[in-house]
Amino acid sequence: MKPVAQIFRPRSRTLLVLLLGLQLTLPVAAASLDDLLNAAKMGDARGVTQLLSQGMDSNSTDQNGNSLLILAARDDQPRVVEALVKQRGIKLNARNAAGDSALMLGSLKGHTEVVQLLLAAGAEFDHDGWNPLLYAAFEGRLPVVELLLAKGANPDAKAPNRTTPLMFAARNGHEDVVLRLLKAGVDLDWKNDQNETAESWAIKNRNTDIAGLIQAERKARTAGAGK
């Protein structure tokens, strides 16, 4: 009969080899994901494409659920966005942990070229809840507002608190965005869940010129309806 130590030695060596192999593989995989995420954030389109060609997932995310596309859009890296939207299986409308998509963050930040690329690729722009137009109006990103309206975005979209793009723009003093939304024929008297209108919010925030624009638009519409 063979000694017990001799019977189990080969299996122990095999297990040890497997464990060592796993320990060697994990750091490489982790480093590769970090490299991919950093390449997306830094605008290294060539690096991103190369890593994806080696088998990495184009929909990889960081710990906050930000996909490569979301990171590139957020950080204004149009060349990376351009490369990613061409990838088969790319999730254009993926959301991060905060509920934001690539197009939403690109719109919030005012990254016009990024927004153009995402819209051309077919990213969703007119959905319930917070959406790209609401974000763009809130921050006063007129070029992005123009792009979204031209694409067919609803100018009277409602945020979860029932606030419209006009109301956000009026509250935050973005006169050029207010003018563009007025031109789009938005509802002037809609009230949000705080019982505020665009005009009342403008007045409360001392944006009297904007309140005057809304009042003038209301008079013009009333006069036009009477003809």
Residue 197 covered by a domain: yes
- In this predicted model, which residue has the larger pLDDT, 151 or 24? 151
Residue 161 covered by a domain: yes
What is the domain range of residue 179?
A: 154-227
Residues of the chain above pLDDT 70, percent: 85
pLDDT at 9 over 80: no
Residues of the chain above pLDDT 90, percent: 84
| Mean pLDDT within 148-172 | 98
pLDDT band, very low/low/confident/very high, at 13 (cuts 50, 70, 90): low
How many domains is the chain partitioned into structurally? 1
Which pLDDT does position 202 carry in this prediction? 98
Residue 191's CATH number: 1.25.40.20
The pLDDT tens digits for 184-220 are 999 999 999 999 999 999 999 999 999 999 999 999 9
pLDDT at 4 over 60: no
Residue 223 covered by a domain: yes
Residue 184 covered by a domain: yes
Which pLDDT does position 12 carry in this prediction? 54
Residue 64 covered by a domain: no
pLDDT band, very low/low/confident/very high, at 140 (cuts 50, 70, 90): very high
Mean pLDDT of all residues in the chain?
90
pLDDT at 151 over 80: yes
Which pLDDT does position 116 carry in this prediction? 98
The pLDDT tens digits for 52-111 are 999 999 999 999 999 999 999 999 999 999 999 999 999 999 999 999 999 999 999 999
Residue 76 covered by a domain: no
pLDDT at 17 over 90: no
Q: What is the pTM of this model?
A: 0.85
Residue 110 covered by a domain: no
Out of 14-18, 130-134, 148-152, 217-221, pick the least confident: 14-18
User: What is the rounded CA–CA span in Å between residue 80 and residue 187?
Assistant: 38
Which pLDDT does position 11 carry in this prediction? 56
Out of 19-23, 134-138, 217-221, pick the least confident: 19-23
Residue 183 covered by a domain: yes
